[in-house]
Amino acid sequence: MALQAKVGRAGVSHVVLEEYPEGIYVFVFERPDSPHPYRDYLQDTWDMAKGFCEDEYGIPESGWNQIPDPRLR
């Protein structure tokens, strides 16, 4: 599963959360057309990842949309 939220502030276009065996990665993209994130963070759980994003980027729980897992495209 993967989730995406638009941020739309200077230097941060959107954030993608992806689940991996080691935890939930928070991928931060600078522009809408950025092919790769310019920052990433690892969190233990979905709740921790979402809480981190709310604190750091102001993304509320309602701001997330499920997207196809980018690794399966």
Domain boundaries, the chain: 2-62
pLDDT for the residue numbered 73? 56
What does the chain come to in residues? 73
- Each residue's pLDDT expressed in tens, for the chain with a length of 73 residues: 899 999 988 899 999 999 999 999 999 999 999 999 999 999 999 999 999 999 999 999 999 999 987 776 5
Residue in the structure block whose two tokens are 């604190």:
55
CA-based torsion, 10, 13, 14, 15: positive or negative: negative
